[in-house]
Amino acid sequence: MENKIKENNTKLNKEMDKIYKSLENEKNSKNDEKINFLSKISFEKKNGKTKTGSKKLDVVTKGFIPGILTEIYGSSNTGKTQIAFQIAVNTAKIEKNIIFIDTTGNFRPERIADMAIAQNLEQDSIMEKIFVIKCLSIEHQINIINIINNFLKTKKIDLIVIDEISRNFLQGDERSGIILKSLLNLHLHKLSHMAYDLDIPILVINTTRTKINKEHKIETTTLNSIINRIIHFKIHLKNINDERYAENEYGNKCIFKITKEGIED
């Protein structure tokens, strides 16, 4: 039995190592030159134009700055996915294309319809602009860059949403944690380069983990040791007594509402 377990683990590690090496081989000198581009972007592009439906929340999100990765993280029922749906609708209504990568199976067309109807928009025309990709395995998520590049051969992309970024990298106890973290690191780097190359916002949704520090509970983003190295802009959501709070890493914060119609002040 012990030999069988070792054999299975070795096989899994070889498969993951193959994916890792293939990603490494795809890196090129052009991408390597971009590793330190964040400070330039931060000063040149202070705000994006992607609206949430809440003016106060738009201040916190900075309109989802093009060219960088923005992370929205929080525990369940804080509004993460609702914000993702809302910015997808608001982007689609101005005739722009969105790729929505669903790693949880929680994409809801009926919720998109509610938000579209609230703005007197044609549901079908909105959904035609939102291209949903189900991505329920780590192998599929790693390959998503190739899928997007193929999509770009025929259509322009204006916004990418990934809900959730870390989920697939937490699956599978038999796989090596070091390899999974390495894969996530490379995946995020590729997304970062894509945001820069296409000059578009990429929103990644993430969950939280709670740590106790000197008797105080601190919420941190899931897989924060990897995420924090690459994510450019972070927004933390909380639900306190059914009031939704948002705060970015620079101290801008607000309260926002989630109604049947969508995100509101």
- Domain presence at residue 30: no
Nearest to 233 by CA among 98, 41, 86: 41
The domain in which residue 87 lies consists of 37-264
As a whole number of Å, the end-to-end CA separation of the chain is 59
Judged by DSSP in three states, 166 sits in coil
Q: How confident is the model at residue 92 (pLDDT cuts 50, 70, 90)?
A: very high
- Domain presence at residue 12: no
- Domain presence at residue 154: yes
- Domain presence at residue 46: yes
Q: Where are the beta strands (DSSP E) in 84-241?
A: 98-102, 130-134, 159-163, 202-206, 208-213, 216-221, 233-240
Nearest to 116 by CA among 106, 107, 124, 108: 124
Q: How confident is the model at residue 191 (pLDDT cuts 50, 70, 90)?
A: very high
Judged against a pLDDT cut of 90, whether residue 12 lies above it is answered with: no
Judged against a pLDDT cut of 70, whether residue 45 lies above it is answered with: no
The 10s digit of each residue's pLDDT in 52-62 is: 999 999 999 99
- Total of domains in the chain: 1
Asked which of 35-39, 176-180, 195-199, 209-213 is least confident by mean pLDDT, the reply is: 35-39
The 10s digit of each residue's pLDDT in 109-126 is: 999 999 999 999 999 999
Sorted by sequence, the CB contacts under 8 Å of residue 210 that are 6+ apart come out as 217, 218, 219, 220
What is d(CA 229, CA 255) in angstroms, rounded to the nearest whole number?
28
pLDDT at 8: 46
pLDDT at 21: 56
- Domain presence at residue 4: no
The 10s digit of each residue's pLDDT in 94-108 is: 999 999 999 999 999
Q: How confident is the model at residue 182 (pLDDT cuts 50, 70, 90)?
A: confident
Judged by DSSP in three states, 97 sits in coil
What's phi and psi for 176, nearest 5 deg? Answer: -70, 125
What is d(CA 147, CA 157) in angstroms, rounded to the nearest whole number?
12
On whether the CB atoms of residues 121 and 89 are closer than 8 A, the answer is yes
pLDDT at 217: 76
Judged against a pLDDT cut of 90, whether residue 225 lies above it is answered with: no
Q: What is the mean pLDDT of the chain?
A: 85
How large is the average pLDDT for residues 150-154? 96
Tokens representing residue 68 in the block:
């960088």
- Domain presence at residue 71: yes
Tokens representing residue 251 in the block:
């101290």
How large is the average pLDDT for residues 211-234? 84
Q: What's the alpha-carbon Rg for the chain, to the nearest Å?
A: 19
Give the domain CATH number at 79: 3.40.50.300
- Domain presence at residue 16: no
On whether the CB atoms of residues 28 and 228 are closer than 8 A, the answer is no
How large is the average pLDDT for residues 28-34? 42
- Domain presence at residue 239: yes
Judged against a pLDDT cut of 50, whether residue 133 lies above it is answered with: yes
pLDDT at 81: 97
